[in-house]
A and B are shown apart, each in its own frame.
Chain A
Amino acid sequence: MQPQPAYLLHKQPYRETSALVELLTLEHGRVRAVAQGVQRPSSRSRARLQPFAPLHVTWVGEGDLKRLRLMETHGSAAMLAGEGLLCGFYANELLTRVLPLLYPVREVFAFYAAVLDALPRPEARAPALRRLEVAVLEALDAEPRFCDLNDAELDPHRRYVYRAEAHRFEALDVGAGGGLDGRTLRLLAQGDWAAPGLAGPAKVLTRAALAPLLGNTPLRSRDLMQRLAARRRGN
């Protein structure tokens, strides 16, 4: 096979000197593989096989668990630190949790690469993560349709809650608080996920849409970020 562009999502030590890895690849989506010998102290791949580094890989094997063969880096890993690093963990955890194995998701790969570019810049993080989340939802046919439960257009003067199981919005009673307002949703419908002022609603919406895909186990990296934020406020 031709070497595949890939990113390492997660690495776990396996036996003495090997590792179990999860990769996001351009043409094959999420791939799980054994990387033999990479945990050896003398292994040159040990330092190269790191999350957030652009890789080229090949593998062999028929089943769900492949054997990683060739692994090269091209360019160096995004230099992530602090908050950006935690956002990177979030992206990795999200993809390992919701993407099925060997399900091709080219758009997700592209948006993931864009997230890595954006992470070192604090103001670019949230929009890039939202675009990735939307790409994931689209790849899994779970993206929100911007209409109400009866397929009618959203009214800019009403408020709505997202019904993830129907992929549509339910109108709240006139005058009721909470939910998202129709005007904002119409802006989001135009694909303007990065527009200023929409960051909050966009996050609420993608989170609601991802919730059924994640099931009952919360994302640990999100939990970690929230605890860190809480600790900061405490100081």
Chain B
Amino acid sequence: MSFSPLVDRLLEALRVLPGVGPKTAQRMALHLLERDRDGGRRLAEVMARALEEVGYCRRCRTLTEEEVCELCRSARRDERLLCVVESPADMLAIEDAGGYRGQYFVLHGHLSPLDGIGPEDIGLDQLAARLDEGGIEEVILATNPTVEGEATAHYIAAQLEGSDVRLSRLAYGVPMGGELEYVDGGTLSRAFNGRLPFSTE
């Protein structure tokens, strides 16, 4: 047995969401139709607006419906620091962790020659333009510690060669509360190579 055409289309539409298969889609659709039509209307309205209006910030390329996002406009952020991340989710993670007071640049991806993703696909020209504006003293390369993230960091570093901007890369380390026995070899050997002087403070 199948539902009416419109309900079927709703089920199918819900399946664009990650992790939603036929069963989950059915549960969601029936919940909206039978128990929470108001919630559903709200969802439809907000989703339609967000999809229409949310774009990329002109300065940092994060997701926002404004021309320049709040973080970029904020006078309390240090404009001399620029942190380059792969995704808005990474940016959010760093913000949640706290401690960083500078600005961001979101690449929306990483260099991956085998997937055909090149420098123009991750906004590196825009990053270069941003750096040419001047005022930035340190660029923090916070791309993921994967081979693609590493290649992306290398490419950006090569772009910056010859300029007097200071470049730094996130350190590799053992996770907090982790036990050395269970840390993978790659992380452990990099943590070893990147060890720091012991500080008693």
- Residues of A bordering B, CB below 8 Å: 9-10, 12, 16, 44, 47-48, 50-53, 73, 75-77, 79-83, 85-86, 88-90, 92-93, 96, 219-221, 223-224, 227-228, 231-232, 235
Contacts of A48 in B (CB 8 A): 184
Write the chain A residue with the least CB distance to B161.
A235
Contacts of B188 in A (CB 8 A): 76
Contacts of A82 in B (CB 8 A): 154, 157
In the complex, the answer to whether B151 meets A227 with C-beta atoms within 8 Å is no
Interface hits, B102-129 → A, CB 8 Å: 111, 113-116, 118-119
Q: How far is the CB of B179 from chain A (nearest CB, A)?
A: 13
Q: How far is the CB of B117 from chain A (nearest CB, A)?
A: 8
In the complex, the answer to whether B151 meets A77 with C-beta atoms within 8 Å is no
Contacts of A10 in B (CB 8 A): 114
In the complex, the answer to whether A88 meets B147 with C-beta atoms within 8 Å is yes
A76 CA / B188 CA spacing, docked (Å): 9
In the complex, the answer to whether A235 meets B162 with C-beta atoms within 8 Å is yes
In the complex, the answer to whether B146 meets A50 with C-beta atoms within 8 Å is yes
A187 CA / B155 CA spacing, docked (Å): 36
Contacts of B168 in A (CB 8 A): none
In the complex, the answer to whether A47 meets B186 with C-beta atoms within 8 Å is yes
Choose one: B159, B161, B184, B189; the contact of A79 (CB below 8 Å): B189
The interface residues of chain B, by DSSP majority, are classed as helix
**B158: Cβ under 8 A from any A Cβ:** yes
Choose one: B18, B115, B159; the contact of A231 (CB below 8 Å): B159
**B187: Cβ under 8 A from any A Cβ:** yes
Write the chain B residue with the least CB distance to A228.
B158
**B98: Cβ under 8 A from any A Cβ:** no
Contacts of A220 in B (CB 8 A): 113-114, 116, 118
A16 CA / B158 CA spacing, docked (Å): 34
Q: How far is the CB of A195 from chain B (nearest CB, A)?
A: 30
**B90: Cβ under 8 A from any A Cβ:** no
Q: A76-B189, A221-B113, A228-B155 are in contact. Are A52 and B147 (CB under 8 A)?
A: yes
